[in-house]
Amino acid sequence: MRKGMKFEEFVTENAEVELGKLLLSLAEGCKVISHMVNNAGLLDVLGANDTTNVQGEEVQKLDDLTNKILMDYLKASETCAGYVSEENEHQVTLNANGIFTVAADPLDGSSNIEVAAPIGTIFAVNERLSPKGVEVEDRDFLQKGTVTKAAGYFIYGSSTILVMSIGYGVIGFTLNTADNEFYLSHLNITIPAKGKTYSINQGNVEKFDDGLKNFLTHCATIDKETSRPYSLRYIGSMIGDIHRNLLKGGIFIYPANKGETKGKLRLLYECIPMSYITEQAGGEATDGNQRILELQPTGYHERSAIFIGSKNMVQTAMGFLHAMVKQ
Ligand code: AHM
Ligand code: MG
């Protein structure tokens, strides 16, 4: 594996043939999405669709378009049996003879579309459990993150970058706008064990449990030895925040409100793929009690609290949450 190699070359040399076909199709679809996002102001794609998704959220035109693009390209892969996403209430069979399923958030952070902040596509690939030749079933998708076959995200920021793992560490490919090809740009991404950044919607602080409030106070307390106070960085786009923390170190938190156990972010196509990538890069991800990858999904659109990022920071946060650390 060498820097500068084409994504296609990487896939041919490193992934099983069937998985390779799926990943190549996905990347082709995301090139189209990247172009659309980059030129959004010039195309008639900004704004809402006048519809709501299964979660009652306003659907942006780009949410809908990107969902359709992903479905078309994954169908063309011939190896992707089925698809579920933030925009689809139920699973869709794409290729009855396919052997994988994909759970995706086609355009995460879509409230940032109109302000040109980073947004992205998140995906997780599983092996289907039902027999080939028939429609896909719930069990093909509702699998723990510990058996994820591949996962990653495309970030559409100042560059378009694909960050992914097929179970052997994390690498990144940058889209070269000159020839519209992805090239290996980030070899062996590892998240620093300590970071100096915390990412959380601090505006919700009154809804947080005391343990979390104490952790946030800890982050903002001056202490030269541990380089505190840490910097608060929150874009409102999970992909943007986690991508930064993955490369530079940090913790991203989307907690449950006081007295609740679920947060805002969806387990299947947001928390599991981002946790898979983070663990593959040497970091940690938990819902506050359990490793995210060990949670058994029970519904496509189920939510989870998440604390994800640098090992030491996640562990310190858990200490505060469980009141094992005094300030
Ligand atoms: P979306 O999938 O509808 O775009 O929502 C998910 C996004 C995340 O990317 C981000 O971290 C979070 O919502 C921000 O939520 P909030 O505005 O409550 O802080
Ligand atoms: Mg999302």
Test site for ligand 1: of 54, 86, 108, most ligand atoms within 8 A of the Cβ: 108
Specify whether 111 is located in the same domain as 255. Answer: no
pTM: 0.95
| Gap between the Cα atoms of 18 and 15, Å rounded | 8
- Round the average pLDDT of the chain to a whole number and report it: 94
pLDDT at 327 > cutoff 50: no
Specify whether 205 is located in the same domain as 316. Answer: yes
Any domain includes 192:
no
pLDDT at 106 > cutoff 50: yes
| 8 Å CB contact between 38 and 62 | no
Ligand that lies nearest to the alpha carbon of residue 110, given by its number in the listed order: 1
Specify whether 251 is located in the same domain as 298. Answer: yes
Specify whether 60 is located in the same domain as 121. Answer: yes
* pLDDT value of position 305: 97
How close is the Cα of 4 to the center of ligand 1, in Å?
Answer: 33
Judge if the beta carbon of residue 63 lies within 6 A of ligand 1. Answer: no
Specify whether 310 is located in the same domain as 262. Answer: yes
CATH of the domain at 301: 3.40.190.80
Specify whether 247 is located in the same domain as 119. Answer: no
Q: What is the mean pLDDT of residues 117-145?
A: 97
Structural domain range at position 47: 7-186
* pLDDT value of position 324: 53
Ligand that lies nearest to the alpha carbon of residue 241, given by its number in the listed order: 1
| Gap between the Cα atoms of 182 and 172, Å rounded | 9
From 135, 151, 186, the end of a domain falls on 186
Any domain includes 46:
yes
What are residue 308's DSSP bridge partners? 252, 285
Test site for ligand 1: of 264, 274, 302, most ligand atoms within 8 A of the Cβ: 264
Q: Which residue's CA is the closest to the ligand 1 atom numbered 18?
A: 201
Judge if the beta carbon of residue 257 lies within 6 A of ligand 1. Answer: no
Q: Higher model confidence: residue 21 or residue 58? A: 21
From 153, 186, 219, the end of a domain falls on 186
* pLDDT value of position 45: 78
